[in-house]
Structure formats: structure tokens, C-alpha cells
A = this chain, B = another copy of it.
Amino acid sequence: MFRPEIKVVDCSIRDGGLINKWQFTDDFVLATYKALCEAGVDYAEIGYKATKSLFDPKVYGRWRFCDEDEIKKIFNNIELKAKLACMVDIGRVEDKDILPVNDSVFKLIRVACYCRDVDKAIDLCKMISDKGYETTVNIMAVSTNTEREVDEALNDLSKSEVPSVYVVDSYGNMYSEDITLLVKKYLAALPGKTIGIHTHNNRQLAFANTIQAIIDGANMLDASVYGIGRGPGNCCLELLMSFLQNPKYQIRPLLKVIQEKYLPLRDQIEWGYIIPYMLTGCLNEHPRIAIAWRDSAEKDDFVKFYDKLTMPEPVDEIQTNG
């Protein structure tokens, strides 16, 4: 599939950081970034921007904050061929954290929000856009929203200047038919805006759903190296590259960084096809319960986890006074 409008956004460090609290070494991030540049990736999202008062820098690595001075030093001698990007959450970033674009290493700042907060996201996007950045709104967990909620959010977005809006399958629940319905709905409601796709791989559908979104008209495509990302991870960038018929995209640099950096990391932290995440995906639930399970001594007791998810809690004996 060749379409000149298509842009690829790698989110390896930003989404992968959800596994290890963004404790990536500078070397790891730079090796990833260089591979992305050689592979022709358009944007490299290297973390979140967040106010340091909200997260303890002793616990969270620097890619949780994306402090401009720190990032500038690290990327000092490197040609920024892939545009640097970061993400912000509603309420976790302040105006002072966002420099004017000409003073920043970043070109794209993406805003993640739930459907109910789309008004706040539009506001935050305006601030970011006014400072000269490219921006997007990523509506998370849309598989849990009713049709009315989605339509209302899209109606608000249609009246805004937000240039790009993402379909995000946060829980890795969607089938390609869901993707088609949403991408077409977004396109119809938001004429002139770019539609993006961000998938999770709970059910091994992340790549297939990304392909479907491309077919349906999405032009901003999220993926990550070797699928790194919380729990099951994301659409694998190397798979996406194999699908996109555009000579600017190269798979070979990705294979190199996978064998040199991602295979060793995968021995230390886990992501991929893991049954508890598969089950939360099937049940359209947030992965937090699976994360906790994988952190427990019962991590491989899939039956017990399944029962916990699906069996009704025992009814407590009703205490009466009579």
C-alpha cells in the first residue's frame, strides 16, 4: 500500500516506558532513534512531557519528563531526521513546560485524553499549536464509549483547529470491523483532518487492525520496534514497514536494533502475547489487573486469573439485626 500522505509514528520509548517507568539508558534511546532515522520513520515519540512535581524523578526515568535541556544534550550531535515527538496527558503538564517550538527539540506534541475530556484536550492542543508545534488528539479507550459519546467528542473536535485525531484501541479489544466503523466515522465527522491509528496487540490483531485502518483512510500510523509497549505491546514497526510499499521505509536498520538492543531488553522486561493481557483484551478491560497479576507469584496461573475476571464475586452473607 503506497500513499504519499502516510506518516509513521514510532512510539517505542513512550509506550515502552510504561513497562519500565521510562528507565531506558540514553544509549538505548539513541540506538533506537538512529535506527528509526535510517528506517525512514517520520516521527519518533521518545516520552511524555510532565511536570516534575507530579512524578518522582528517583522512580521515573528522564523519558517520563522530556526536560528540554536534558533531551537537547543527549541529541546534541545528531541529525534530527525523524521529527522528535512527545505525549502529554490532560492535567499533567503546565504551560511553562511547553517552550515555543523554536526553542524546543520537539516538533510534534500529542495529547492523550478520554472521550469525556475532549474539551480539555482541544484547549491543550490550542496552547501547543499556538506555540508552533504539530499536534494530535488521541482519544483513548474508545472501545468503551457509547456511540453518543463518540459522536459528541467528534462534534466538538470538528469545530476545533486540531489537525489530527487518533482512533486508539487502548485495551486491544477491537476487530477490524470496529476499526473500519471508527475510522470511517472519524473521517466523515472531521473533514480535512488527518486520522491516526494506535493499536494494542492483546489478541494478536494490532498489525491487522493497522492495515485495516490504512485501507479505510488513516494516514498517521503508530507502531513500535519489536512491538514494545505495555503488556502485549503495539503494532510491530518492522511488520508495518513490510506492508508499506514506499522506498523511503527500510526494514534492515530495525532488524539491527532489535537484535542488538531489544532482544536483550526482552529478557529483562516482558511484553508480547501473554495470556492475562489476551483475556483483558477479550473482555475489553484496562490491562491494570493483568499487570498486577503478572507482578504476583501467581503470574502463570491463567485459570485463576480467568475465574477472577469472569466469575461473579461471592455474595457476602447479609448481616441483619433480626
Contact = CB atoms under 8 A, between A and B. Distances in A.
A282 interface: yes
A205 B207 contact: yes
A275 B302 contact: no
A263 interface: yes
A307 B204 CA distance: 28
A55 interface: no
Given A203-B239, A204-B239, A275 B258 contact: yes
Interface magnitude class on chain A: 35 or more
Nearest to A281: B242
A201 interface: yes
A175 B208 CA distance: 8
A258 B238 CA distance: 28
A309 to B, nearest CB: 11
Contacts of A227: 273
Interface in A245-282: 251-252, 255-256, 258-259, 263, 272-273, 275, 278, 282
Given A176-B211, A208-B208, A263-B300, 5 more contacts: A176-B208, A204-B206, A204-B239, A252-B306, A272-B273
